Every structure is written in structure tokens, then in C-alpha cells.
Chain A
């Protein structure tokens, strides 16, 4: 009896210690960087030149955030980022799930070969120079369309890899039943496969949104001209537009505005996002 009480008391002490440690880690890990970002974006340029966690001496919120809109091309970046992210994610989900269904259910050798090619595209680095040349030769360089195609072509691998593994765990009976009832292939896909795949579609959607919204590498090579810039590119251009080094207050305001759409979506959906990524079978 006494030993059980000892165990529970000991267990409680361990639990308390655990959360104390976690809190101590969370402060420099998440809270301090976020605080730095917010508080310095409210300061004047000279005030933010020495980065500190102190509150602003002079509050400069309106000026800073107005500059992000006027000089930082924020709205152009936002429009382009939406124009890129939405079709890219939709295309990855649609085309990836269609292909995954085929890969999971077919024993064709040629399909298996292409499945391996797509799986390889996850780990092998994108060959950026030839991709840019390919876009130039096809007249798609510096256009949002070319950028979207390149993004889709290199992000489909993850979707196909995860979804193929997932469909293989599903019984084929539903598809066969639907087929007996005379459903067309498209109807089987649309009304049987897609609903069954909903969890993995959500997981991949989350991963792809984060990846595409934040893409800088492809954008740097493929999007030329201020009119085509997505948010990471407008942020980079804005940060490097001053001859006098980084104007930290303005850059931080831009960082915050650039990350805001994802942060808001995350705050609203966080439970779903976290459980989707944890239970969505990222490990396949």
C-alpha cells in the first residue's frame, strides 16, 4: 500500500518536473522568437537596430505596417502567393490521389516503375538549372503558370508515396461493389476512393500548403519581375532593398504579415492539423 502511494507521488513529481522543463524550453523555443518578432516590428528603425525584448520607446506600428504595404509589395505578394498555393495544392491532391489509386491497385510493371520514379523525387534534389531552361524553352519562364507546374511536378511524389501506401491498406471490396453496381471508374474514384482517403488528403494538404507558401528556392530562380513575386520573394527583396543594412523593424513587420495567413489558419485548425500529421500516417 505504502509503495503504491510512493509511486503515485513520485509519478506526480516527475510529471510536474516534466512540464516545468517543457515550459522553460518553450520560452526560448517559441515564445521569445515570436515576442521579438512582434515587439520589434512596432519599433522605430533606430530603436530596433539593437534587437531587444524591451517594449518600444516610440511606437511606430502604423508607419511600419504601411511601409510593408507600400514599399514591401505586400498585396502583390499575397495575391501571387494565393494564385500559386491554391491551384498547386488542389492539383497535387487531385492528380496525386488519382495516380496513387492506380499505383496501389495495379500490378503493371510500367506503373510500378513510375511509382518508384515518383518516390525518388522525394529524396533526390530538384535539378534547378535544367528546369529553368525547360521553362524558358517552353515560354513559361517568369510566369506564375510555369512556376506552378514545376511546383506540382516536384511535390506530387510525397502525395503519391503516402497515398499509395494508404490505399493498399484499404480493402478492395468497396471498389468492386461499386463497380458491380455499374459505377464508372470516375464515379468509383470520386465517391468511394476520395471519401476513404480524406484523412491522408488533409495531411498532405497541410504539408503542401506549408511547403509551397514558404517556397523561396524555386521562386528565386523562376519568378522574375516584381509583379510575379510571391510573399517569400517580396520579403527577400524588401529586406535587401536598403543600402543601410537590414531595417529590422520593417523586415519583421513583413515577416509577420507574410506568415500571418498560415498562422491564422493554424490557430483555427491546430487540433486538426496536429492530429492529422500525427495520425495521418506520415511514416506510411
Chain B
């Protein structure tokens, strides 16, 4: 309390207790850094420990376990090189699931960012009406992906409202969007995009609002059209938000599972069997080694796309 009083009133608070090695008290020889680091470390330690235990160590363990023979039926874990990856390839699981995952993630990422950019542009200024529309478009973010899947499997059912609407123009239209090989993957990816677009929109709005008005006004005075201003000023200055959204939506979709559980369950056939779905299947059969290998495949996908993507997008960022 004393500290805050001092800040608020600007008056020093009478208090004599001083600590050695405080932030600005003259350091005792060699002690300053040691002390400072030690209390900094104490403050960070719980967070570091939890992250190391529940993210770091499992991640490293997973990388190793991908190359081991490990099942629920035997207590021994033995190194077996690339056997897991080879057998998964022979079964047609690895290549197919990777392909499905990449297609899913790319569709989700594109749909989310295109929709969100348009929404952000339309709802950029914070007036009453825009706030109302923002809150409408944000609502799907609150639903669980599982719920989103249940809702949209009804919307997209052969006799559901979407087909009913198309039926107004194409009489007797009947199509199982989630039941056909050709459309199921696109549809589940779009449901994912539907669920998250509201949040991505807010990030873009926040990015647009950091662009100073004077730059835009100068362009208006110079006679730049709305499209030209968007193309030549806002897009480049939006780059940090763009990098953030593209990377997170793409990388997040590599780990998709929930929506598929509540819509297609991997089907029809194996059309929507993403990597995480295959991970769960292998795990359920007690095949922990191959399960880890598939899980590691997701990590590889993230690493080979996120790192070049961040590097490339960062390079293109301009700063005002």
C-alpha cells in the first residue's frame, strides 16, 4: 500500500526498511546480479516448472518415443528406428492423414483470414451499431468446437435448412455435404473457420486501429481510392496482425480434432481423418509408439511451416 500511495500522491512515504540488493541501491560487489536474478527466477519458477513438465518434457519425450516400439501390451520400450513411420506409411495412414491435415488447415486459415479481414474492414470504427454487429459475429467463438460440429451437422444435413434454402432456387436439391467424400473435408474446415473468425476479426480490428489517422487522411487528400488505401497503406501496416493470425490459425488447425469428432468421425471412408484423429485411434488400440509418431508428425508440420512463414511474413512487415 505504501508503494502505491507514494505513486499516487507523489510524496515519499516514511519507511525505513531497506533491502540489500534492491533494484537501485548500490550493489555489493558481485552480489547485485546474483540477488536480482535469484528473485526474478523465484517469481518465474512456478510458471517455468509447469511449462517444462507439461509441455517441454512431453514434447521431447514424444520425439524419442516416435522411434520406439511401445505398446500397451508390453512393459518394455525399445528403439526401433523409423519402423513406426514405415509401417504407418504402408498402412496408408501417415501420408493420407498428413495430406488431410494440411488441406484442412489451409482451407481453415484462408477462410478465416479472408472473412475476418472483410469483417474487420466493415466494422473497424467503434460506433454503437458496429459494436452490435461485432458481438453478433463473435458469438460462435463462445461455443465449444464440439457444439459447433453438432449445430452445423444439422444445418448441413440433407434435409436441413442449407439445402432447403438452395432448394428454393434448385428445386429438389438434396446433398449430404458431410456425407460425400468430395465435400466433407471442406465443410468441416469451414465449420472450424466459422467458430474462430470472430476472434481473428478482433485482432484485425485492433491492427487497423493502430494505423494513425494522419497517414490515411494524407492518402485521402492525395486522392487515393478506398481500395488503393487498403492495398497500399493498410495491408502493409497490418502485417504484424496478419503474421499473427495466419500463423496461429494455420498452426492451430494442424491439431484439429473436436469438430471432426462431432461431425464426420473421420468419414466418409477416411476423408476427414486428420493426424490427431489417427493419433487417437492408435492410442485407443494401445499402440503408443505409432501414436507418438503421428503426434510428432503434427509437430514436424508446425515446425516446417511456422518457422519459414514467420520469417517470410516478418520480412515483409513495414513499420510506420
Contact = CB atoms under 8 A, between A and B. Distances in A.
Which of B15, B19, B47, B129: most chain A Cβ within 10 A? B47
Contact of B47 (A30, A156, A274): A156
Interface string A239-250: 100000010100
Interface residues of A, number: 108
B194 interface: yes
A175 interface: yes
B267 to A, nearest CB: 14
A271 B131 contact: yes
Given A51-B155, A129-B295, A153 B51 contact: yes
Contacts of A282: 202-203, 206, 244
Contacts of B213: none
A236 B262 contact: yes
Contacts of A128: 58, 279, 283, 295
B3 A191 contact: yes
B12 interface: yes
A127 interface: yes
Contact of A278 (B7, B17, B202, B296): B202
B258 to A, nearest CB: 5
Interface in A154-209: 154, 156-157, 160, 174-185, 187-189, 191-192, 195
Interface SS, A side: helix
B144 A51 contact: no
A71 interface: no
B6 interface: yes
A216 B258 contact: yes
Contact of A255 (B141, B147, B164, B207): B147
A177 B159 contact: no
A108 interface: yes
Interface in B268-320: 276, 279-280, 283, 288, 291-292, 295-296, 298-299, 302-303, 306
B44 interface: yes
B44 A179 contact: no
A166 B219 CA distance: 31
Interface in A65-95: 95
Contacts, number: 305
B183 interface: no
Contacts of A283: 203, 206-207, 240-241, 244
A230 to B, nearest CB: 10
A60 interface: no
B174 to A, nearest CB: 12
A102 B44 contact: yes
Contact of B161 (A51, A176, A262): A51
Interface residues of B, number: 105
A192 B46 contact: no
A274 B135 contact: yes
A217 B47 contact: no
Nearest to A123: B251
B3 A40 contact: no
Interface stretch (B33-41, B79-87, B90-98, B227-235): B33-41
A55 interface: no
A274 B144 contact: no
A144 interface: no
Contacts of B175: none
B57 A134 contact: yes
Interface string A107-141: 01011001001100111111111110110000000
B54 interface: yes
Given A51-B157, A106-B37, A152-B54, A125 B206 contact: no
B44 A178 contact: no
Interface in A202-222: 210, 213-214, 216-217, 220-221
A30 B137 contact: yes
B202 A101 contact: no
Contacts of B224: none
Contacts of A176: 23-24
A125 B15 contact: no
10 contacts: A34-B139, A50-B157, A96-B47, A114-B52, A134-B53, A154-B55, A179-B22, A258-B144, A274-B135, A274-B202
Query: Which 5 A/B pairs are nearest by Cβ-Cβ distance?
Result: A153-B54, A178-B3, A127-B62, A214-B144, A99-B47
Interface of B: 1-4, 6-7, 12-13, 15-19, 22-24, 36-37, 39-41, 43-44, 46-48, 50-59, 61-62, 65, 122-123, 126, 129, 131, 133-147, 150-155, 157, 159-162, 164, 194, 199, 202-203, 205-207, 209, 240-241, 244, 247-248, 251, 254-255, 257-258, 261-262, 276, 279-280, 283, 288, 291-292, 295-296, 298-299, 302-303, 306
Given A33-B140, A106-B37, A191-B3, 17 more contacts: A30-B136, A51-B157, A121-B56, A126-B59, A127-B55, A127-B59, A127-B61, A130-B58, A149-B50, A153-B51, A156-B50, A178-B7, A246-B153, A255-B151, A259-B144, A266-B142, A277-B203
